[in-house]
Amino acid sequence: MTAAATAPDQGAAQQPAPIGALSQLIQDALDKGDSYGKLAERAIDPETGETVSKPYLQRVVKNPPANPPTVPMMRAIAAALRKPFRHVQEATARQWLMYESTDLAGYGDTVRIIVSHLAGMPDSEKRKWQAMIEAAERTRRESGE
């Protein structure tokens, strides 16, 4: 005797795939009242004059292409969205490269370079550098500098 196979639950909704970061930026503009047409009219790279078409913007939201937009295309999308280029660049990196940028706003290039070097070190090396920095700071405070 065999048991009857159960049918899949027809009422169970499939979870939609999460929308990519650049796709979400474009969708946010649409949700705030822009249309693909309006975005495409503004999507002009200020440096090269390259444009991004309405169908391309639709594709990024609905069915993103395999390859990310080029730098001129990102600048055009930034112009269309009225967002800083860096926001579009970071969203593109998250969507296509699964790369999350960390920003050290307010710090100069020297600090960014130091952090970049530290990030690639093994934890044992990082602990040594942390101890040296803390010792230097303690010495500075104790000497009243």
pLDDT winner (highest mean) among 18-22, 26-30, 95-99, 140-144: 26-30
Contact 93, 103 (CB under 8 A): no
What average pLDDT does the segment 70-74 reach?
97
The rounded percent of the chain whose pLDDT value lies above 90 is 50
Look up the pTM and report it.
Answer: 0.62
What 3-state DSSP class applies to 145? coil
- What does the block give as tokens for 8? 């899949």
Whether pLDDT at 128 is above 80 = yes
- How far is 128 from 135, CA to CA, in rounded Å? 11
